Chains A and B, each alone.
Chain A
Amino acid sequence: MLAPPLLWLGLAYLGSLAVLLLSAFWTTDSFTSDVIHVWNTDNFRTILTDSVYRTITLRTLGVAVAVTLIDALLALPMAFFMARVASGRWRRALLVAVLTPLWAGYLVKAYAWRVMLGEHGLVNAVLAPLGLTGPGYGLPAVVLVLAYLWLPYMVLPVFAALERLPTHHLEASADLGAGAWRTLRLIVLPAVRPALFAGSVFTFSLSLGDYLTVQIVGGRTQLLGNVIASQVTLDLPLAAALSAVPVVLIVCYLAAVRRAGALDSL
């Protein structure tokens, strides 16, 4: 019974991954850009030794970590308000408000931010009276837009965890002498920790793999995603080898998160 779906999964996912990884060991004719099917590890050596790629990898990792942290910090109070403070109609309205951006097209949202972050855009217009200017296009804009894009993926699991948290646990904490801040730190945070990790799996891996946002609002910023995208036509085997980098990073991250026990609740 399980064989057909497993076969499909094997072909569609693992098969294409295998082909990707396989092609990373080929090389390209530097004049014609044709792929030469000769087995070698030059691409990986290039990635590991060339400081350009190391910098790009670290920058991408930094973006993913920053986006994850920002989303976690934003999601906690939002989800807490939705799950424990707002009631009935308010809660539904907020849930819809969090979900709606997921239904809008990715490009629409990214370009909306491009317009807002432009020189005469909304961000600068709002900040101008305060004597400030917006980040413009560049690395901060990439972090900002990615944090916006992936926020629902963090809010939803945290919201679910907070909704499941028994009221009696909060009451018991207060009853035993803990104020709001201590209850948050000692009872609420441990309860939502698995959900935070689960959400971070999304924000982290989606940020690592993104290549459109950086093209739209990133200015000349280079991240793994857009470097791979630009290499696909020039040097396919190198692009394939570069793709292995986020895959490895995500596998490492999943392993770390799993050790923290965060995937038990998924």
Chain B
Amino acid sequence: MLATARKGLVESLQNNLEVEGRSLWQDAWRRFLNNRAAIASLFVLGFIALFVLVAPMLSSYAYDEPDWGAMHAPPSWESGHYFGTDALGRDLFVRAALGGRISLLVGILGTLVAVLIGTAYGAIAGYIGGNLDRLMMRWVEILDSMPFMFFVIVLVTIFGRNFLLIFVAIGAVSWTGMARVVRGQTLSLKNKEFVEATHVYGLPRLQVISRHIVPNVLGLVAIYATILVPGMILFESFLSFLGLGVQEPMTSWGALLNEGAQTMEVAVWQLVVPATMMVTTLFCFNFIGDGLRDALDPKDR
């Protein structure tokens, strides 16, 4: 559902995002700066990123050290457990930061893989066209009709022990939306003068794609990426729900959230801490995505 709704969203905006002159990026940047929600989100996200990087150094506790005397301890300044502890007495302040690293890493890594494959695939299919295009898009169609969950469960059991690899793998099967969008954009670029001009010089096709097509779809790619990242983070939390998430004692926001959902009546901070952080992050990505879209799509103004 996530993936399909996402696809529709992008398709709807793809039609609007016309390629314009050089000043597009400058204009877009100016418009983006005027979007208060997006800028605020950027700052909040920066703060969260800083937190997940720095917080473990600010605490005297280790993320993997159980304390049998302090299980389910509520947040307190005196004890140094600023966010309380979990079921094993491990410090949540540190674990939330560590979990954030994993969740963000997973989101970015998965997205990066999806974006790289999707952009290249879409640009090649769209630019070269003909039978190759038809074949490539048929393949995308097949992947799209395959249940995502099936793919992921099988990948998890095959790559079970390397969590990051799982996300590279998930990225490698969730690029189809990206490919469709980029292909569509490439088709419309193909007939623009500046691209047709390259034929006169006889530039090799791959060079045309990398120098002239790809730079011109980057805006779209950026918007799509801000939608993919939260999707990946949410998907990680779904895997944690199934018990197929990151290996202990390492954690992720999804894993913490799932533990918190079990203990919310006993230790509400175990739910509130990861929930606040994850939801804030996803909100930020959302607003930044909106900001980018508005900035790159002047017609909405």
Q: Do A and B bind each other?
A: no
Question: B residues bordering A, Cβ < 8 Å?
Answer: none
